[in-house]
Structure 1
């Protein structure tokens, strides 16, 4: 590997543009797809709950297939794969929000097929993108820096979606009502899809591979054993999955929390999502500095503790708008601080596993990590959607039953608080930064000496 030239600022920006491209559509699906299906297309809520769970679970299992495919090829092919998938990503993203004039059953089938197709392409391009961090640098601090750019790109996309979606949809649809939203979502999705395609092309064209690792043969039956022996990867994956539980709960329920619990309109939910994104993005600017001082593990322990306490604060006054906004801002700030750290930890833990076993399986390790993220996100999205069903949510009513608000509070506040507490258990088992630095120094050693230097994980 040639480390004489580290990624330039422009290269890091283009690396971050990949997550910007991804989240232009991921944030749209996460924040508005449930609303689009229920309040705009008026599809059956129970059917949509089942659809979201099944499609996302099927989509999640695409990741290991892609990961195995990537591990059989040289790392130098990753940028080409990203460029190849850029146009299919944009096309399937657009089709997901393209309504068809049909009866509810055919509309549900179209929603299932289009969302499944987008999920498969999303899985393929994002698994490739996830491995790219390992290939651009092996320096632990550079990986944190790359992850910061990645997460800034992510949050810029989320912020744009949160603040601009409904205003632009209403403008494109020519009306500030459901009719305008039904007409406006398709052209809005087309604009997003075109932007995402160009951003992915920039990532695949500018980002350089410096770690020219060659494929290492391994059997699929050996994958569980190799990964389970890697304590760092195991604990990081579990904590990261719980992180996505929180994201899913926040973005899926913000609009419903604003409408039902706070008594505001859907656009106030967009304001909450904008606040969430801005606070998270602002905190990422401090991630590198804080981790250099405290280390990754301690930083995550502190941030999860504060986030959980903030959710308890919301629980004490769930209907008070100022309290909710302040506490939610604090929770969002601490959540965002952890974002680049988790991604850097995934890359580091993959290298730790390679050092221990001598087997390069970065694609599969990242893919299964991604599978865990998606399963957590899908299960949470389905769970909070079922909370609406339990409470008796009816989109045609202007005032919902009291039970609806109680279930929304459980999903938006209680679930993330419990998730933060559980995260602390897994974060504690992740190695400290001294172990990571020790492995980074061993990168230039031959394979057998690398395994001895890495020691037990």
Structure 2
């Protein structure tokens, strides 16, 4: 089957897959902690434990699902697409239930309900995301086309996050009058549930279209038999795949950064700046650079290489993030618009990694094939996905932990000035540290630069032609 020359429908259909997944995933990063604290009344400490328990289960669930896919014979619809479509329906149901408040339950019952719905949603997201993440390397083996798919996936993810991060902040908050006569914005659980219901329906529609538009072209090597699959052997080879290990940590820090800032900025604009409606602009400032750089990414990659431009961008983003912290010591400390300008500049630096991270995943997958002689994208991506979820856990458990440490009270409409000052510090220092770590790993530890990728492809394609 021809593996090159993918068409627009392949790219558009592939983008719709991540758009469908991120529609609900962005709800988790933007609203779940606040829904638990402010609507269900769950303590920050209990949320932290919940996140940790869910990740312990993921340590079993993710590799199990990836190994299941790799050990199955390809169907007439391919190795990955049927699983994406099948898991999308319970994923949508799980997302709705996760944000639905059953009236009249006790605090302990709400906590149990949170455990059931959150873990179920996580399992269904794994069911969709692992075959989806493995799909790109089965659509084409051309480096330029893979880079294009990575960019389209990032665009799809960016658009998928828009409802939660831009539209919903304008809808899901209600104004209440405090005892002293002042007004405050609070999260409205009923409005939130209605929005999530609409998003869940849209999720299913997008995955159906994704299934119809995408096509798997890359076949398993003739010598590879699914009956010979060995999970432990694959994991041992992955452990020796240094670029894979480093990229796992880079991606872990990336999603930790994204989820931490998405969640914490929600609190920051609601409490510190007292303008929750402006939170929707954060997403625009973060993703607008993506739209600006997208037309030039192909030329930049061909000239400098994926690793090289990602490292440079992260270094720039770190400098800007450090300036965001120093903003507190200037007359603009409480000016949300100056803060948003810095968010835009930081987003410009992050754009390169955000757009190319999935192409880097395909590179380390190719390197894994060179080491093992087998294509086992499902297992490779499941381990990668699990490590990414550790970053999700660090953010999901870290935000309520930080909120508890600074003295934030979700039941209070107005926070003390001391809490607000600490909130600003936590919203700027933690992201700066994460960006610095990503810069170091990408620049100095990840070894698949431009010349190394060219050599890798020569070796891999040479092996295939032997």
What is the RMSD computed on CA atoms of the aligned residues? 2.3
Q: 2:216 aligns with which of 197, 205, 209?
A: 209
Give the alignment of 1:186-201 within 5 angstroms: 186-201=193-208
- What TM-score comes out, normalization by structure 1 length? 0.90
Contact kept? 2:51, 2:397, Cα under 8 Å: yes
Residues 364 and 335 from structure 1, CA distance in 2 versus in 1: closer, same or farther, beyond 3 angstroms? same
Task: Deviation per CA, 1:102-154: give whole Å up to 9, x if none.
Answer: 12221121121011111100011100000001100111111110011110010
CA distance in 2, matches of 1:294, 1:446: 27
Q: In the alignment, is the contact (CA less than 8 A) between 1:73 and 1:215 conserved in 2? A: no
Q: Which residue of 2 aligns with 1:295?
A: 305
Match 1:438 to one of 438, 441, 455: 455
C-alpha distance in 2 between matches for 1:258 and 1:178: 11
CA deviation string 1:397-428 (max 9, x = no partner) = 34323443344334321122112222233223
Change (3 A) 1:367 1:302: same
Q: Which residue of 2 aligns with 1:95?
A: 97
Sort the Cα spacing of 1:419 and 1:285 in 2 relative to 1 into closer, same or farther, 3 A: farther
154, 159, 165: which one aligns with 1:162: 165
1:230-260 deviation digits (Å, cap 9, x = unpaired): 1221222221211112112211101111133
Greater displacement, 367-376 / 279-288: 279-288
1:65 aligned residue: 64
1:249 — aligned with what?
260
Unaligned 5+ runs, structure 1: 450-457
Aligned length: 443
Encode CA deviations 1:255-302: one digit per residue, 9 max, x unaligned. Answer: 11113333x132222332343233445444443332222111110111
- TM-score norm. by structure 2 comes to 0.89
- Residues 319-328 or 21-30, more deviating: 319-328
**3-state SS of paired residue (2:357):** helix
Contact 1:74 1:212 in 2 (8 A): no
Cα-to-partner distance string for 1:379-411 (whole Å, 9 max, x where unaligned): 122112211001110123343234433443343
CA distance in 1 between counterparts of 2:35 and 2:95 reads 14
| Partner Cα distance (1:148, 1:448) in 2 | 30
- Report the CA distance shift for 1:448/1:356 in structure 2 as closer, same or farther (over 3 A): farther
The counterpart of 1:307, out of the listed 295, 301, 317, is: 317
Query: Distance between the aligned counterparts of 1:19 and 1:227, measured in 2?
Result: 25
Q: Is the 8 A contact 1:394 1:400 kept in 2?
A: yes
- CA–CA distance in 2 between the matches of 1:166 and 1:88? 26
The aligned counterpart of 1:455 is: none
